[in-house]
Structure 1
């Protein structure tokens, strides 16, 4: 019997009852830690970009892609927070003199920076 294209490419079959089922497995992928931003982007891909999600998953690049997105988002968030702190004149002296005001202003900056990161990287 002539080999199928699947067999020529190195595939093999497994007999289940009267049927031959191709043994298909996803390619092995190096596990990398994925943080908050990576998980948010994964949820976004699953809900709104299903084709991209499926392509990344079946090619074995999903984990590295999400780890890269997570790293980019974290770096962008830190740069934005530092830039906004300098622009608004928030210093350690303010923290020492009026801690409550410092906390309020820092929370505002962090919320603004998170919104920018979400818009530019996570949900884009």
Structure 2
């Protein structure tokens, strides 16, 4: 029996181990650099989109996907926060004059921006 075979139907090569041919699988994942949003996306995929999660995991694209989602989410949150702060008149001048009010408004803006990103990017 051959020790190595290649199946053209699925594009996988196999190696003989004892009486069984096992696929030669190699993970080519990039370095995980994702943060909060990547972890939330991963948890969502595990709980609600298991087939997609398993596909990404088995094809070695999960880390790439999570890194991309995390980066997009962070950029979107920052952009939304800037727009919302400008629209609500939250400025550096307000920060100097009334720090407590500025912190309260910025926390509210951040929570709103994150909620929008969670619904539009992460939980789909």
Short-chain TM bin: 0.7 to 0.9
Q: Which is richer in strand? A: 2
The residue that corresponds to 2:5 in the other structure is 7
The residue that corresponds to 2:48 in the other structure is 48
Q: Check conservation: 1:41, 1:66, Cα contact below 8 A.
A: yes
For structure 1, list consecutive stretches of 5 or more residues without a partner in the other structure: none
The residue that corresponds to 2:25 in the other structure is 25
**Alignment of structure 1 residues 93-108 onto 2, 5 Å:** 93-108=93-108
Q: CA deviation at 1:64?
A: 0.4
Q: CA deviation at 1:25?
A: 2.7
Counterpart Cα distance in 1 of 2:57 and 2:17 = 23
The residue that corresponds to 2:78 in the other structure is 78
Q: Check conservation: 1:38, 1:70, Cα contact below 8 A.
A: yes
CA deviation digits over 1:59-103, x for unaligned, max 9? Answer: 111100110000000000000000000000111110111111111
- Give the 3-state SS of the residue equivalent to 2:119 in structure 1: helix
How many residues align? The count is 119
The ranges of structure 1 where at least 4 consecutive aligned residues each deviate by more than 4 angstroms after the TM superposition are: none
Q: Check conservation: 1:26, 1:59, Cα contact below 8 A.
A: no
For structure 2, list consecutive stretches of 5 or more residues without a partner in the other structure: 8-12
